Structure 1
């Protein structure tokens, strides 16, 4: 199996290392935009995407800046590459329908790179609420925040894509994981309200905070808080149902189910890297078996539309 990476920044390197750890029967090439980019053992670099694609890769990992995702994915899909698209799908909706048409015409397998769906807390919550049957689910709250300069201590945060609107940065697209798993757990939002802006002293030209209110067709109301300036990271979800409250901490694995007269508490131990490894194994297996994934490009498109609506609503 031959794999091409389009972009080998921080997230691309993570996926590359996981692939090399899990599989010894793969051939890896990479399209690099800069001839001074770091070389990686076992990876042959190309500086022209057409020449790289002429090597007939089976799978493309689209891990370059968000604003370049669709253009790169279209080229890879046209030559028959199955696609792993790092989140978010794009920073706008241009040419996404064209990409979807190519994917469907060529019967390609796609997966959005949303590793939080493989967090054991989210996986267990998905099972719990799937078993609710006719019991009522009322509302949910999601809170995700951290301090942007701490994300990559070896780099100036002002120069990474997160800080640049034109590259697809900003807290809504950057932390789209929360919108993605809300979509997975609770379905498509039919009404979206938001308030966003740049309120901290971070030297970026994107929004650093967002409050998003969502409602779906079952009238489940959700609130998603996202920020770049929380000095101590937090990633939690609370769900209120007719019979109990679910509290999940995605950072430390705590999962609590609170009834009126009792609590059930557990800790789902995991290492952060395991989510990426499970995601990788799932995707490669789907490609080998020709099986559609549970988070393909159409799902990524729906999630992106929610995020873009929130960005637009928030700045009005």
Structure 2
């Protein structure tokens, strides 16, 4: 199995680790755009389109900065190989981005946009648990402290902190919006507010507040970069009682009584996600799960600002 990687940062190395845990039969190639790019053990650097075309790849991983996804996908579509695209799909929504999605669909290229929280077992449990239940209210919260993400680096220079690189809490934490869409479908009406006025003093948005209205209930989603005591939770208020999902503990409670727990951690979901992708793409099955087209729709909801 040959894997082409565009963007060999920390997230790509997580995907490489996941692949190695699943199969010993994998060769890794990185399409680099600078001769000064670092080298990594067991990863072969390629520096030109001609070098890339000398190989037949089973799929490509696109994990460079979001601002580069559009250009990277444009270069890869002619290869007509399955695409594993790190979230979010793009940094913005426009005609060029829409055209790329339409080309992926027209060429029938299997695509998956990586939102690994769909593979967190407490989220999978609650998806089944709420089927057929009357929902009155949904509250989703993700508060995290950006400087702690990569302590050895200056967080202000990171992609996440810089608007011009496509960063921002509304993009980085699109996972929360993705699983909201996965659990409840597309909202009938949305509004949102973004800001970057916290003490972090960064150009990218460090706070986002979404309100997605559904038939019969509203989902409120709050995201931030500045909370030192991290919290990641989902609360579903149903007619018969309230469910509380703690994503960091991978637990679900109903009316304060624990009804589900798992030892799986969020890092484990990278392997589950990759296992799913490989089973579908390499066995020729129809991969109809968070495709580029679906992720484009979610991104449109994510970027909408009232």
For 1:113, the equivalent position in structure 2 comes to 114
Deviation at 1:293, TM superposition (A): 3.3
Secondary structure of the 1:152 match is: coil
For 1:265, the equivalent position in structure 2 comes to 259
User: How many residues were matched structurally?
Assistant: 304
- Indicate the RMSD between aligned Cα atoms, in angstroms: 1.6
Structure 1 residues 58 and 74: alpha-carbon distance in aligned structure 2, compared to 1, 3 A threshold: farther
Q: TM-score, normalised by structure 1?
A: 0.91
Q: Tell me if 1:295 matches 2:290.
A: yes
For 1:144, the equivalent position in structure 2 comes to 142
Q: Tell me if 1:286 matches 2:280.
A: yes
For 1:306, the equivalent position in structure 2 comes to 301
Deviation at 1:19, TM superposition (A): 1.4
Deviation at 1:264, TM superposition (A): 4.6
Q: Is the 2:144–2:229 Cα contact (8 Å) retained in structure 1?
A: yes
Mapped to 1, the partners of 2:69 and 2:50 lie a distance apart of 16
Mapping 1:180-199, distance limit 5 Å = 180-199=178-197
For 1:3, the equivalent position in structure 2 comes to 3
For 1:229, the equivalent position in structure 2 comes to 226
Query: Aligned match of 2:164 in 131, 141, 166?
Result: 166
Q: TM-score, normalised by structure 2?
A: 0.94
Mapped to 2, the partners of 1:28 and 1:269 lie a distance apart of 30
Give unpaired runs (5+ residues) of structure 2: none
Mapped to 1, the partners of 2:27 and 2:258 lie a distance apart of 47
Deviation at 1:247, TM superposition (A): 0.4
Q: Is the 2:243–2:252 Cα contact (8 Å) retained in structure 1?
A: yes
Deviation at 1:53, TM superposition (A): 4.0
For 1:127, the equivalent position in structure 2 comes to 128
Give unpaired runs (5+ residues) of structure 1: none
Deviation at 1:165, TM superposition (A): 0.8
Deviation at 1:8, TM superposition (A): 0.6
Structure 1 residues 50 and 208: alpha-carbon distance in aligned structure 2, compared to 1, 3 A threshold: farther
Deviation at 1:51, TM superposition (A): 2.9
Query: Aligned match of 1:253 in 250, 253, 263?
Result: 250
Structure 1 residues 154 and 53: alpha-carbon distance in aligned structure 2, compared to 1, 3 A threshold: farther
